[in-house]
Amino acid sequence: MVISPASAPADTAGSFNPASCIAQRALEIDASGIRKVFDLAAKLKDPINLSIGQPDFDVPDPIKERAIEAIRAGKNRYTPTQGIAELIDPIRRDVCQSTDWRDPGVLVLSGTSAGIMLAMFATLNPGDEVIFLDPYFVMYKHLPRMVGAVPVPVNSYPDFRLHPERIEAAITPRTKMLILCSPNNPTGIALTPAELQAAADIAKKHHLLVLSDEIYDAFCYQKHHSIAPLLPEQCIMLKGYSKTYAMTGWRLGYAAGPKPIIEQMTKLQQYTFVCAPSPSQYAALELLHQGSVDMSAHIDHYRRKRDRIVAGLADRFVINHPDGAFYAFPKVPGNLTATEFVNRAVADNVLVIPGSVFSNYDTHFRLSYAASDQTIERGIAALNKLADKMTG
């Protein structure tokens, strides 16, 4: 949606009008869909909240202890832009082992979000086109525009799988980047080795840079596969700590990829984020001690939540089987748009997010099962009741 900038730089009395300062790139981002859900959430008493994009468990104690120790020990200053060596070196070893890459660049980030932004700022010129699957994570649509690039969502309905022929059809001489997100937000789909191979073949054929957002890799209820080993020369792999360790507020992630690109991202980090938060980096060192932090019980629990959500809604909703993350993306039953459906759900005290927030289509809704088992049971009952009202 394009919103016109405020007309007058000053009001009639000649005083300064802050609204007139807002740049077009900010005005063009329409966050009203998701904001509306959060505004409504604030008004509801004890809502059945299935809209949250972060785990419902807390940061494991050993990580917290390590952060507290670091803060007490004075690790509160800027770190090197690229991250502390104690963290970068093991990350690099890990990346080499998992990808077979020989000598990747590594940059520690203020969250995966920073990596998406820096990768785009470092590689995209105005007019360059960026392909990703629709439905998509919201940043993929808005961040390219900030550098004058063009987001090109490729329809993945109704199965949300990667259809190579649709990607091929969207490629033009201006296509520069292909973003993959596996497991996916908002659909929960994880790409198979065959899909990744098809994407890698396309990337090689058309000389595309692949941005592989793997923030949900730990929440994969089958073996997680990455495209990175297939593309040693042309992939930026993004990993995050936010979701795996429930550290969303600690702002930590990393990028690994070809050195010339990571070097440019590092330079841009120096003049934007400066560095990732120092206590978070030191706290992450705890993860290098094998066995100190084991998330497997949480992940198993989330697998059971996924199973419960799918089984609980399958009779009344068309719902894909999510392979990972903590989202499902069911179709709205009946003839309502997702926005209309979500308004009705909110009236029944259930918070979910309309598909239009993540998509050019408004036919599905995202629900997050990063919630207590009790909330999930209440949510299933309320959504089924709503579906019955709408269809019967």
Contacts with ligand PLP, residue ranges (CB under 6 A): 53, 111-113, 137, 181, 185, 213, 215, 240, 242, 248, 253
Rounded alpha-carbon distances, angstroms, from residue 228 to 96, 167, 210: 10, 19, 9
In the complex, the smallest distance separating the C-beta of residue 375 from ligand PLP, rounded to whole angstroms, is 19
Closest residue to ligand PLP, Cβ-based?
Answer: 111
In the complex, the smallest distance separating the C-beta of residue 247 from ligand PLP, rounded to whole angstroms, is 8
Q: Which residues pair with 10 in a beta bridge?
A: 16
Residue with smaller CB distance to ligand PLP, 53 or 333: 53
**β-strands 253-257, 235-240 pairing:** antiparallel
In the complex, the smallest distance separating the C-beta of residue 103 from ligand PLP, rounded to whole angstroms, is 25
| Six-digit token string for 183 | 């497991």
- Which residues of 285-329 form beta strands (DSSP E)? 327-328
- Which residues of the chain form beta strands (DSSP E)? 48-49, 105-109, 129-134, 150-155, 175-181, 209-213, 235-240, 253-257, 327-328, 350-351, 353-354, 365-368
Residue with smaller CB distance to ligand PLP, 47 or 53: 53
Residue with smaller CB distance to ligand PLP, 106 or 181: 181
| Six-digit token string for 301 | 């629990």
Residue with smaller CB distance to ligand PLP, 253 or 354: 253
CA distance 162 to 369: 24
Residue with smaller CB distance to ligand PLP, 95 or 386: 95
In the complex, the smallest distance separating the C-beta of residue 111 from ligand PLP, rounded to whole angstroms, is 3
In the complex, the smallest distance separating the C-beta of residue 102 from ligand PLP, rounded to whole angstroms, is 26
Residue with smaller CB distance to ligand PLP, 181 or 228: 181
CA angle 216, 219, 220 (to 5 degrees): 100
CA distance 28 to 30: 6
Rounded alpha-carbon distances, angstroms, from residue 222 to 25, 200, 291: 40, 21, 21
Q: Which residues pair with 257 in a beta bridge?
A: 105
**Is 252 buried (19+), middle (13-18) or exposed (0-12) by CB count in 10 A?**
buried
In the complex, the smallest distance separating the C-beta of residue 73 from ligand PLP, rounded to whole angstroms, is 25
Categorise residue 376: left if φ over 0, alpha if ψ from -120 to 50, beta otherwise: alpha
In the complex, the smallest distance separating the C-beta of residue 139 from ligand PLP, rounded to whole angstroms, is 7
In the complex, the smallest distance separating the C-beta of residue 241 from ligand PLP, rounded to whole angstroms, is 7
Residue with smaller CB distance to ligand PLP, 84 or 109: 109
In the complex, the smallest distance separating the C-beta of residue 239 from ligand PLP, rounded to whole angstroms, is 9
Residue with smaller CB distance to ligand PLP, 317 or 358: 358
DSSP assignment letter at 356: G
Residue with smaller CB distance to ligand PLP, 177 or 387: 177
